[in-house]
Amino acid sequence: MNIVVCYKLTPDAEDIEVKPNRTISLEKAEWNIGEYDLMAIEAGVQLVEAVGGQVSALSVGPHQTAASKAKKDVLSRGPDDLYLVIDDALANADTHLTARLLATAIRKRGPFDLVLCGEGSSDLYFQQVGLQLGELLGVPVINAVSRIMPADGKVIVERSLENEVEVLEVPLPAVLAVTADINQPRLPTMKEILKAGKKPVTEWTLADVPPAGGLQESVTVLSTLAPKQVERKQIIVPGNPDEAVQTLIGYLSKEGVL
Amino acid sequence: MADQTIWAFSEKPALLAELIAGARQLSGAAAAVVVGPRALCEQALAAGADRVYWLGETSDSRLVEDYVPTLAALVTEQQPAALLIGATKRGKAVAGRLAARLGTSTITDVKRLSGEPGSYQAEHLIFGGGAVRTEQPHGLLLCTVGQAAFEPLPPEPGRTGPVVEVPFVAPPWQLQLRERKEKPPVSVNLAAAKRVVCPGRGLAKEEDLALMRELAQLLEAEIGCTRPLAEGLNWLPRERYIGVSGANLKADLYIGIGVSGQVQHTVGISEAHVVVAINKDKTAAIFQQADYGIVGDLYTVVPALIKALQARK
């Protein structure tokens, strides 16, 4: 099976700094592979282990995506090679532009049987890129896939919806967005980490893969602010544990919540 | 001139009623897009829709998703000002494919909508709840909206309006449904719980959940937890974690025990009426998010609290 796994390198939300005016800064953030994309990578590697073939990793994004540590990280998780489209103009690309770029890059790479995406990116979590990508490539696409079973010329998938699980036959080629619990991504072994540095990397610019429809975006971001803090009383109840819980019970009775 | 009507679509009738109310609130004119039994069209009119587009029924050989080309053709022809789609997994699948066909982006899980036709603004959470982003679409506002963003209008049985039957546009491909399996029923609905006891990483071992359960039973509370306890440690099922991709509480009382108070978690308790925190680290962020805090070891404070509550009974 010829598989492409898509991933996004994202700033770690834990490293966000909130400024006094509620704006946020990502300057000190560490960039990592999106946590839900790890499951897509693992799913691709598991399929190839089961039925043979090869897995390419693909990402589009700003220069952080092409950092040598980031390239090694993704390749140490099992993909055979890596394709990147790098431009700092893509730092805030909307889902439609991202999907158009991925589609162009996948076409340039060549034929595929399966494209796998994560449930959503761990920074913006729109859960949309995989679906748009399938539609743009003109192939079957489905989200919430919690199990993939290869069959002849197709895959049988389980799709985990809110109250039910659908078992669906998906003809190949296809694009699947997998759930966060489809697998437990393994940690790269030392052997894989050493191998990662020798795997082929193809780095493209926007000139190499011009997206159909150009670079214009379909939404404008007006603001990104830390959530408003809810006003809380912030009363620290004093005393030893026995005294403190009595005082607390008094407060809670007065609030009428006991 | 482009239509000023806002459209609402969801395969879940209750959520559709909420979206219709939202559409009415924003523009005054709401149309519903219905996929399913014909009776749902009358239900949508009663819920406040001024017009219904009926796409057709679903069956084992025709899934909701198979209507994407039909819906895309209809939106292209009618040019609504906005399309609100129920934020279920299925709704998001429809929204994403529709966005690709219409050449735009979907804004998912919108928490608040405002503005006028042509300049709508949509707020949604990013960075796992660490930030609120406000976006303005350049053309059609295409978004998914979850439960409880809008209050449904009181139903008006007998309210009438045009029901337009939309011809089916055959999709280029279809997925074959082999089987549909019920998921085991969800053990808890934290969003509806009155009181919630929530252990965090301060809990040393899984067996100590017994202490949490004892407290919860006395308070007639549900057990919630922070994400690491449900994903990673797997001490509690996924539906019990509170926070951005988990449950959002509307409880009267939340008691966080050994919870540090990361924003990804506290975003889920912002609508709780009274927040109590018990943590041995007096610098824990949770104390800024709490009404009442006790600084102390949970293994002495919680037993003391249990004893005091028992004495009250």
Provide the pLDDT confidence category of residue B2 given band limits of 50, 70 and 90: low
**pLDDT at residue B41 greater than cutoff 60:** yes
Contacts of A160 in chain B (CB under 8 A): 89, 183
Say yes or no for a CB contact (<8 Å) between B183 and A235. no
Q: How far is A48 from chain B (nearest CA, A)?
A: 23
Which tens digits make up the pLDDT trace of A70-89? 999 999 999 999 999 999 99
Could you tell me the residue ranges of all domains in chain B?
Answer: 6-165, 190-312
Which tens digits make up the pLDDT trace of B232-250? 888 998 889 998 777 889 9
From the candidate CATH numbers 3.30.460.10, 3.40.50.970, 3.40.50.620, 3.40.50.1220, the one assigned to the domain spanning B190-312: 3.40.50.1220
Distances (CA, A) of B232 to B29, B58, B154, B227, B236: 47, 38, 43, 8, 10
Average pLDDT, chain B: 94
Contacts of A223 in chain B (CB under 8 A): 133-134
> Which residue is closest to A122 within chain B, CA to CA?
B127
Which tens digits make up the pLDDT trace of B112-134? 999 988 899 999 999 888 899 99
Contacts of B193 in chain A (CB under 8 A): none
- What pLDDT does residue A13 have? 80
Provide the pLDDT confidence category of residue B79 given band limits of 50, 70 and 90: very high
Section B271-298 average pLDDT: 96
Q: How far is B8 from chain A (nearest CA, A)?
A: 19
- What pLDDT does residue B247 have? 85
C-alpha A119/C-alpha A130 separation (Å) is 8
Contact B235, B245 (CB under 8 A): no
For residue B235, give the nearest of B209, B253, B212 by alpha carbon: B209
- What pLDDT does residue A112 have? 98
From B109, B131, B176, residue closest to A225, measured CB to CB: B131
Contacts of B133 in chain A (CB under 8 A): 124, 221, 223-224
Contacts of A136 in chain B (CB under 8 A): 100
Could you tell me the residue ranges of all domains in chain A?
Answer: 2-204, 228-258
Say yes or no for a CB contact (<8 Å) between B90 and A161. yes
CATH 3.40.50.620 for domain A2-204, yes or no, is yes
Distances (CA, A) of B26 to B20, B113, B114, B117, B122: 10, 8, 7, 9, 12
Token pair of B305 as six digits: 């609290």
- What pLDDT does residue B295 have? 97
Q: How far is B179 from chain A (nearest CA, A)?
A: 5
- What pLDDT does residue B1 have? 44
From A127, A218, A227, residue closest to B132, measured CB to CB: A227
Say yes or no for a CB contact (<8 Å) between B253 and A252. yes
- CATH class, domain B6-165, is alpha beta
> Which residue is closest to A213 within chain B, CA to CA?
B103
- What pLDDT does residue A129 have? 98
Which tens digits make up the pLDDT trace of B134-183? 999 999 999 999 988 899 999 999 999 999 999 999 999 999 999 999 98
Which tens digits make up the pLDDT trace of A137-170? 999 999 999 999 999 999 999 999 988 999 999 9
Write down the pTM of the prediction. 0.89
ipTM exceeds 0.90: yes
Q: How far is A75 from chain B (nearest CA, A)?
A: 24
> Which residue is closest to B65 within chain A, CA to CA?
A142
C-alpha B271/C-alpha B277 separation (Å) is 15
Size of interface A-B (CB pairs under 8 A): 246
- What pLDDT does residue B117 have? 82
Q: Residue B44 CB: number of other CB atoms within 10 A?
A: 29
- What pLDDT does residue B53 have? 98
Low-confidence ranges of chain A (pLDDT < 70): none
Contacts of A172 in chain B (CB under 8 A): none
| Rg value, chain B, Cα | 23
Which tens digits make up the pLDDT trace of B180-204? 999 877 778 898 899 999 999 999 9
Q: How far is A136 from chain B (nearest CA, A)?
A: 6
C-alpha A49/C-alpha B242 separation (Å) is 36
Token pair of A183 as six digits: 């697998």
C-alpha B85/C-alpha B232 separation (Å) is 32
From B90, B129, B292, residue closest to A251, measured CB to CB: B292
Section B80-109 average pLDDT: 97
